Amino acid sequence: MLAWHYTTGRKFQHITASGMLIPGGIEVESTGTPVLWFSRHQHWEPTAGDECHEAGQPPRRLTMRETYMASGGLVRYGCELKRLFVGELLRRKARLTHELWAELYAVGKLQQAYPAAWCGSVESIPVDGLVVHVMSDSFKWQRHDAS
């Protein structure tokens, strides 16, 4: 089974240029180590949507379609689950406190995510050898051919 790192078309250009997926902060990991987040959700991870700040409204995550439209498309990188950390082991590797981990779960649930599907790495992962899909205009994932 593959776990997926969901990202945007704009970020895809930078990832392709560097050849690496690099752990990055999500503005809550200041006490720990940045995590390269993946999800075992096979269609979309709700927490992967871009954050939206509309005047007079609380911040929210854009939907998959909204993120697609606002961010130059969607891309996902598939990685074998055995290369990633899951659950408590991921929490410890990322040096996240129990309180922060619980907060991430709670926020994820509010965004309609399934936190038990989260996994990740605290190290960069070369994109060579990963499965790459791009979202088509008809909102179907299609394998990306780099050639």
CA distances from 19 to 71, 121, 124 (A): 20, 16, 10
Q: Considering the chain, what percentage of its residues have pLDDT values greater than 70?
A: 94
Residue 90: burial class (beta carbons within 10 Å; 0-12, 13-18, 19+): buried
- pLDDT at position 28, please? 54
Confidence of residue 26 (pLDDT cuts 50, 70, 90): low
Locate 72 and state its tokens.
Answer: 């130059």
- pLDDT at position 146, please? 67
Least confident of 57-71, 82-96, 126-140: 57-71
- pLDDT at position 21, please? 96
pLDDT digits (tens, 9 = 90+) for 108-128: 998 899 999 999 999 999 999
Mean per-residue pLDDT over the chain, rounded: 90
> Domain limits of the chain?
2-143
Average pLDDT score over residue span 88-99: 93
Locate 64 and state its tokens.
Answer: 């998959």
pLDDT digits (tens, 9 = 90+) for 29-80: 456 788 999 999 999 999 998 887 778 878 788 899 999 999 999 999 999 9
Distance of CA 28 to the CA centre of its chain: 14
Report whether pLDDT(145) > 70: yes
Dihedral sign for Cα 28, 85, 114, 39, please.
positive
